[in-house]
Amino acid sequence: SQFVDTLDNIQYCAAVFLSADWRSQLACLDMSHRKFSAPRHGSLGFTPKKRCRRIRGKCKAFPRDRRSLPPHLTAFMGYKAGMTHIVREVDRPGSKVHKREVVEPVTIMECPPMVIVGMVGYAPTAKGLRTFKTVWAEHLTEEFKRRFYKDWCKSKKRAFLKSSKKWLCEAGLAQIKRDLKKIKKYCTVVRAIAHTQMRLMKHRQKKSHIMEIQVNGGTISQKVDWIRQHFEKQISVSNVFSQDEMIDVIGVTKGKGFKGVTSRWHTKKLPRKTHKGLRKVACIGAWHPARVARSVARAGQKGYFHRTELNKKIYRIGMGLQAQLEVAKAEASKDDKDKNAVPKPKGNASTEFDLTAKNITPMGGFPHYGEVRNDYVMIKGCCMGPRKRVITLRKTLIPQVKTRSKEKIVLKFIDTSSKFGHGRFQTRAEKQATMGPLKKCLGRAKVVA
C-alpha cells in the first residue's frame, strides 16, 4: 500500500508539472518559503562603517581655482539650529507647479562670523601637495587656544607664545616676511586658517572649531596679501555665499550606537519560525576560505559617519539681531522727520508679503537649541547631524548649468510658529491679540508695579 501511495504522489506531481498552469497548482500546496531573490543590501562604498575621528566635517576637496576672480574663501562653518517650512512660488516653465505656491522644508544654520588667524602654503611634490610654510597672526583668542588643550584650567596657557613674540621684534618680523615671500615663490595652493566664535552663541562648549579654508581667485601673491590683510578680522557668511547659490554640506551624522544587522544594513528578516532569532543573516559565507568577507553584512556601529551632501540650494542668508539693529539705526538717522523715534528692525524672517516683522527664531525657540542671534543660512531640505552639530558649508565643486539650479527664490512665507507641539501663532503679539493677556503676564506686571 505504501508503494501504491508513493506511485500516486509521483504521478500527481508529474501531472502538475506537465500542466500549463503548474505555478498556480504549486501555490495550492501547503508550502512556504522566503523569496529566493536576495541581492546585496547596503552600499560597500561607505565601508568601513566606523565612528568618525572628528566631529567637524572635513573638506577633502575644494573648487577649481579661477584666477580671473578676486581672492575669496571657498568654505564656511555653521551650527545646525533646526528645521521649519516655507511657502514660495515656483518659477519653472514646463512644470506642473509653474507659477504655483509650494510648501517646502528648510534647515536653519546659525553662522556667526569666523576669524582668520593664520595661513598655510602648499607646495607640489611627486606625492601631491605638501605643507610648505605656516604663518600665524599675533593675537589669538582664548577660545581658539582652548582647542589645543585637554584641560584649559590646569594648563599654563602658553600655546602660540613663540609665534606671537615674532611680531614684537625686528628679527621675528624679518622671519615672517621671508616666510611670506617663500610662500609666494614656491606654493601653488594657499589656505586660510579660521575659527568660529563660540562666545557669540549660547552653547555650553567654549572651544572653537578650526579649519583650513582654501582661497581661490587671483595670483598666489594676491592670495597671500589678501589673507595677511584679514588677519584677526571677522568674515561673515554673506561675504562667502550668496542667495540662490548651490552649495555642498559636509558633516557627521547623528550617532545611533551599536545596532543589529537588520537595522544597520536593512537586510530582510528571516521567516517567523527561524531558530535562534530572525533579525540575522542566515549564511555569512562558505566553509572555506575560513573567514568572513568584508562584504557580508554584520552588526556594529550605526551613525556618527562622515557624509557629504551635494547641491543644496540657499533660500536665504539672514542678518543677526545686532546687525539688524545697526541697519535700523542707520536708516533712522537718515530720516530727518522724527529723530527721537526708536528704530525698529524689519526682522530677518519677514518677506515682502508679511504684515508684521518677525525673526527666524520660532516661538519658544528651536527645540534643544534656543534662539538664533547671529547670521543664519537657510538651505532647502534637511542635512546630517543633530542640533548644535557643526556643519561645513562649501562652494559647489560642479559647475551649475541646469535651469533648475539657477532658479530665483522668492519666499512668500516663513513659518515661525512653535516647533514644540502644534503651533498656532507666528509671533507673541499675534498670540496676545487673539488670546488676550495671559495670567503669568499679569502676575509679572503686578510684581513690576
Q: Is residue 212 within 8 Å of 193, Cβ to Cβ? A: yes
Q: Give the pLDDT confidence of 404-432 residue by residue, as tens digits.
A: 899 999 999 999 999 998 888 999 888 88
> Given a cut of 90, is residue 438 above it in pLDDT?
no
CB contact at 8 A, 223 and 190: yes
Q: What is the SS3 assignment for 185?
A: helix
* pLDDT for residue 11 is more than 70: no
The full set of domain ranges for the chain reads: 72-254+306-435
Q: Please indicate whether residue 38 or residue 178 has the higher confidence score (pLDDT).
A: 178
Q: Helices 170-186 & 220-229, crossing angle to 10 degrees? A: 140
The cell for 255 is: 550617532
Cβ neighbour number for residue 96 with a 10 Å cutoff: 7
Rounded to the nearest angstrom, the gap between the alpha carbon of residue 403 and the centroid of all alpha carbons in its chain is 25
Distance CA 166, CA 389 (A): 36
For the segment 377-389, what is each residue's pLDDT rounded down to a tens digit? 999 999 999 999 9
- Using CA atoms, how far apart are residues 324 and 376, in angstroms rounded to an integer? 12
> Distance (Å, rounded) from C-alpha 134 to C-alpha 141?
18
pLDDT, position 137: 96
Q: Where are the alpha helices (DSSP H) in 230-358?
A: 261-265, 321-334
- Residue in 78, 48, 86 with CA at minimum distance from that of residue 411: 86
pTM: 0.87
pLDDT number for residue 435: 87
Question: pLDDT-based confidence at 250, cuts 50/70/90?
Answer: very high
- Spell out the residues 6+ positions from residue 321 whose beta carbon is closer than 8 angstroms to its own: 345, 348, 359, 373, 374
Q: What is the CA radius of gyration of the chain?
A: 31
If residue 144 lies in a helix (H) or strand (E), which one and from where to where?
helix 142-145
Tell me if 307 sits within 8 A of 331, measured CB to CB. Answer: no
What is the average per-residue pLDDT within 198-226? 95
- Cβ atoms of 262 and 309 within 8 Å: the answer is no
Say if residues 343 and 395 touch (Cβ distance below 8 Å). no
Q: Report d(CA 350, CA 60) in Å as an integer.
A: 37
The C-alpha atoms of residue 306 and residue 413 are separated, in whole angstroms, by 33
What pLDDT band is residue 446 in, cutting at 50, 70 and 90? confident
Residue pair 380/313 in contact (Cβ under 8 Å)? The answer is yes
Yes or no: say if 104 and 115 are a contact pair by the CB < 8 Å rule: no
In this structure, are residues 148 and 236 in contact, taking their beta carbons and an 8 Å threshold? no
Mean pLDDT, residues 105-110: 97
Report the alpha-carbon distance of residue 322 to residue 342 in Å, rounded.
Answer: 15
CATH class (in words) of the domain with range 72-254+306-435: mainly beta
Evaluate whether 375 touches 317 at the Cβ level (below 8 Å): yes
Taking residues 86-106, what's their average pLDDT? 94
For the beta carbon of residue 335, count every other beta carbon within 10 angstroms: 10
pLDDT value, residue 423: 86
DSSP 198-212: GGGTT-S--SPPEEE
* Per-residue model confidence as pLDDT tens digits over 142-176: 999 999 999 999 999 999 999 999 999 999 999 99
